[in-house]
C-alpha cells in the first residue's frame, strides 16, 4: 500500500447525501478481485448515459475535475453494502482523500486499509471546503496527515482528528498484510518451534 503523508490536488464537490456503495461502484462490476481497473466505472450510473456516453453534467466529467484527488462529499458517504470494491474504485480513479460529515463504518475502515484518508468534519467546515471545491481547477487543497491539517486554496487551515493507529498505518503504508508481515520473524520462529514440538500437526 502506498504511504500517505501530504496530498495537494484538485478537490471536487459532491454534496449528495447517502451516496451508497452501489452508487460508488455498481454491483455488475464486482466480478473482479483485482484492485486496478475499477476507476473507469466509479460512479458509473451517474457518470455515463444509457448509450455509454459521458454525462457532461456529472462533476467528475467536467474538464476542471478530471484530475480530482480529493472528494468533498455529502453526509453518510459510503453507506449500503460492505463492498471493498468501493474504495478500490475511488483509489483507482486517483482520489485518495474523501471529506464528509459522516461515513458508513465499514466503508470508513476499508478506506484506511486501501490507502485512502477519510476525514470527518462538522457541517460548517465541510460547507467551507465544498464552496472552495466549487472553484474548479483552482481549488487545489492540501491535506497534511502528519499535522492533521487541511489548507484551502485561499490558505485557510482546518484541523481534523484521526485515530492514532490508523494514522500511523497510512503514514507507513501498512495494510492488514503489511501489519502481519512486520511480525514475519516471530511467525517464522513459532512455525519452526511448532513443527519441532508437534510434528504430527
Predicted confidence band of residue 81 (pLDDT cuts 50, 70, 90): confident
Rounded mean pLDDT, 53-70: 96
Rounded CA separation 70/140 (Å): 9
What's the confidence (pLDDT) of residue 82?
82
**Torsion region of 52: left, alpha or beta (phi above 0 gives left; psi -120 to 50 gives alpha):** left
Rounded CA separation 56/188 (Å): 55
Rounded CA separation 17/77 (Å): 7
| Per-chain mean pLDDT for the chain | 90
In the chain, domain spans: 6-174
What is this structure's pTM?
0.87
Report the side by side order of strands in the sheet with 140-144.
117-120, 97-100, 68-73, 6-14, 140-144, 149-151, 157-159
Return the higher-pLDDT residue of 61 and 191: 61
Tens of pLDDT along 95-140?
999 999 999 999 999 999 999 999 999 999 999 999 999 999 887 9
Tens of pLDDT along 150-159?
999 999 999 9
- Number of helices followed by number of strands (H, E) in the chain: 8, 7
Predicted confidence band of residue 30 (pLDDT cuts 50, 70, 90): confident
What's the confidence (pLDDT) of residue 179?
54
What's the confidence (pLDDT) of residue 96?
98
Task: Concatenate the DSSP letters of all residues of 63-119 into one string.
Answer: GGGTTEEEEEE-SSBTBSS--THHHHHHHHHT--EEEES-B-HHHHHHHHHTT-EEE
Residue 28 has pLDDT above 80, yes or no: yes
What's the confidence (pLDDT) of residue 8?
97
- Return the C-alpha cell found at 121: 468534519
Q: Which CATH number fits domain 6-174: 3.40.50.620, 3.30.930.10, 3.20.19.10, 3.40.50.720?
A: 3.20.19.10
Amino acid at each position: 500500500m502506498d504511504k500517505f503523508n501530504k496530498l495537494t490536488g484538485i478537490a471536487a464537490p459532491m454534496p449528495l447525501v447517502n451516496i451508497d456503495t452501489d452508487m460508488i461502484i455498481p454491483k455488475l462490476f464486482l466480478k473482479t478481485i483485482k484492485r486496478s481497473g475499477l476507476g473507469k466505472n466509479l460512479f458509473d450510473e451517474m457518470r455515463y448515459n444509457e448509450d455509454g456516453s459521458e454525462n457532461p453534467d456529472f462533476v467528475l466529467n467536467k474538464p476542471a475535475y478530471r484530475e480530482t484527488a480529493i472528494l468533498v462529499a455529502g453526509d453518510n458517504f459510503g453507506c449500503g453494502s460492505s463492498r471493498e470494491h468501493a474504495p478500490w474504485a475511488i483509489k483507482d480513479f486517483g482520489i485518495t482523500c474523501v471529506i464528509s460529515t459522516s461515513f458508513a463504518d465499514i466503508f470508513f475502515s476499508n478506506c484506511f486499509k486501501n490507502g485512502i484518508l477519510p476525514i470527518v468534519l462538522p457541517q460548517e467546515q465541510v460547507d467551507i471546503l465544498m464552496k472552495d471545491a466549487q472553484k474548479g481547477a483552482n481549488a487545489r487543497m492540501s491535506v497534511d496527515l502528519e499535522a492533521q491539517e487541511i489548507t484551502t486554496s485561499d490558505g485557510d487551515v482546518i484541523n481534523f482528528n484521526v485515530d492514532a493507529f490508523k494514522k500511523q498505518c497510512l503514514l507507513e503504508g501498512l495494510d492488514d498484510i503489511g501489519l502481519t508481515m512486520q511480525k514475519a520473524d516471530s511467525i517464522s520462529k513459532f512455525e519452526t518451534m511448532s513443527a519441532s514440538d508437534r510434528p504430527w500437526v
